[in-house]
Structure 1
Amino acid sequence: MALIHSTALIDPAAELDSSVEVGAYTLIGPGVRIAAGTVIGPHCVVEGRTTIGENNRFFQFGSIGAAPQDMKYRGEPTELVIGRDNTFREFVTLNTGTVQDGGVTRIGDDNWVMAYVHVAHDVQLGSHCVLANNATLAGHVHVGDWATIGGLTGVHQFVKIGAHAMIGFQGHVAQDVPPFMTVDGNPLSARAVNVTGLKRRGFTPERIGVIRQMHKLLYRSGLTLDEAKAAIEGLRGSENGVADGDVDAMLGFLRAATRGIVR
């Protein structure tokens, strides 16, 4: 109890590991479960059916697990599930899911979520992502691992952002963003491969070379999307197959895209 500030209000039905720290004037509701090593700062509200993994850090004034901002919501028991080792800065808002989708808003591991970020109902946020200040993810958005979303960026409902993609500052994201790409502007436009990010994550020159070829086929060859997909499939086995996993990731994303891709 020495780790719980005397002014914090914690419902007796909440489940907190003995190592969890809770700051002044924070409220924690009955459906909340928090694992070891997590720190909840002062003036936070953690409510709803919210499960928080190990070693997360929530800075002051966060709203965690509030009901979805969806006019169809009628109080159904939906959830927010957060992995481990995430950082959430000031005034972050994370909502639970809706029964119109899977009922769960899910956040992975080791994400860096800056101030005033909003993660809406049913968002599926991967791991190792960076969301800069005031980034806003609307309902049902899916974000792949290692994606970076620039400050003041708005992402439309149901949009998918691929792994290792980078969204520039103040982007207006209304279409799906393929993996490995850098996009920016309003209207949004694909600029190049996220080479700097890929190098930082240990991608070899051979893998990056194949990814560059995929970018060229999608954006620089005058092909229709179906033609580009067929040509990308032909890249399997190139460079001794070192990038076959990346080719499969791109093709899987393109086949699953529902809002059309940024072109």
Structure 2
Amino acid sequence: MSSTIHPTAIVDPAAELADGVTIGPYAIIGPHVRIGAGTTVGPHTVIEGRTTIGRDNRIFQFASIGAISQDMSYAGEPTELVIGDRNTIREFCTLNLGTAKEEGVTRVGSDNWIMAYVHIAHDVRLGNHTVLANSATLAGHVHVGDWAVIGGLSGVHQFVHVGAHAMIGFQGHVAQDVPPFLTVDGNPLAVRAVNLTGLKRRDFSAERIATIRRMHKLLYRDGLSLEQAVAAIESLRGQEPQADVDIDTMLGFLAASTRGIVR
């Protein structure tokens, strides 16, 4: 099955389109672009740069994919944007190439729901199964874990990490790392609770949720220093063996934090 390209689209002969790709009216596809099978590209979308897109993605009209970064130090290095499979990228989203400051790659995982006007800047690492609501903005070098939700009109400061299963509420101003499993919102940003609704939707057991709630209490309710809270979380290992993976997720995130966590 060949690709379907609208007569008004401009597709560089060097671009690589797999079987079943659909390119809409007035779209522009650059020479270094590779698009996987079953992906649809909406009208007036521009895909440029060294951009690789996986299978069965839906890219809506007027998206800008693979433009150079908005980093003023970028000097034309051959950087990349890599997008996984089955993502939905809605209208007017902007996803930029990486810079030479890190690996030179902006990475978007698979099964993400990226709503209109979202900006994903250079060197971002976006995991799998995330939701980015309308006009959410990820600055350069932001890392977002699997299943995280970022509310509409939220801004995430450069180099911030957002943990797996975390949820950022509407208009969150995110300047510090957000630990896994927690819900935050406001300006200044504050931790509100465990993301219980999200965890239940993902079939976390009652035992796992109980352990996550204990970690939240140790970090935010018991008056402990961060060092004391980490030690107390480590002591939870083995009490609910199925929750040890969640303890590892939390401790790994805390150990890797460079901007400090929201507290």
TMscore range, shorter length: over 0.9
**For residue 195 of structure 1, what is the aligned residue in structure 2?**
196
The letter of the residue matching 1:138 is: A
Task: Output the CA distance in 2 between the equivalents of 1:71 and 1:182.
Answer: 33
**For residue 251 of structure 2, what is the aligned residue in structure 1?**
251
Per-residue Cα deviation, 1:132-187 (whole angstroms, up to 9, x for no partner): 00000000000000000000000000000000000000000000000000000100
Per-residue Cα deviation, 1:225-263 (whole angstroms, up to 9, x for no partner): 000000000010112x11000000000000000100001
Q: CA deviation at 1:2?
A: 6.8
The letter of the residue matching 1:143 is: V
Aligned residues: 262
Conserved? CA contact 2:87–2:112, under 8 Å: yes
Structure 2: give runs of 5+ residues left out of the alignment.
Answer: none
Task: Output the CA distance in 1 between the equivalents of 2:43 and 2:114.
Answer: 17
SS of structure 2 residue aligned to 1:186: coil
SS of structure 1 residue aligned to 2:5: coil
Structure 1: give runs of 5+ residues left out of the alignment.
Answer: none
1:13 aligns with 2:14: yes
Task: Output the CA distance in 1 between the equivalents of 2:114 and 2:242.
Answer: 32
Please give the TM-score of this superposition, normalised by the length of structure 2.
Answer: 0.99
Q: CA deviation at 1:18?
A: 2.7
4+ runs deviating over 4 angstroms: none
Equivalent residues in 2 for 1:164-203, closer than 5 Å: 164-203=165-204
The letter of the residue matching 2:122 is: H
Task: Output the CA distance in 2 between the equivalents of 1:206 and 1:243.
Answer: 7
The letter of the residue matching 2:116 is: A
Task: Output the CA distance in 2 between the equivalents of 1:11 and 1:262.
Answer: 46
**For residue 57 of structure 2, what is the aligned residue in structure 1?**
56
**For residue 69 of structure 1, what is the aligned residue in structure 2?**
70
Please give the TM-score of this superposition, normalised by the length of structure 1.
Answer: 0.99
SS of structure 2 residue aligned to 1:216: helix
The letter of the residue matching 1:206 is: E
Task: Output the CA distance in 1 between the equivalents of 2:31 and 2:179.
Answer: 40
**For residue 44 of structure 1, what is the aligned residue in structure 2?**
45
The letter of the residue matching 1:216 is: K
Equivalent residues in 2 for 1:1-263, closer than 5 Å: 3-239=4-240, 241-263=241-263
Task: Output the CA distance in 2 between the equivalents of 1:134 and 1:172.
Answer: 13
Task: Output the CA distance in 2 between the equivalents of 1:161 and 1:195.
Answer: 17
Task: Output the CA distance in 2 between the equivalents of 1:52 and 1:121.
Answer: 16
Task: Output the CA distance in 1 between the equivalents of 2:239 and 2:121.
Answer: 40
Identity of aligned residues (%): 72
Cα RMSD after superposing both structures: 0.7
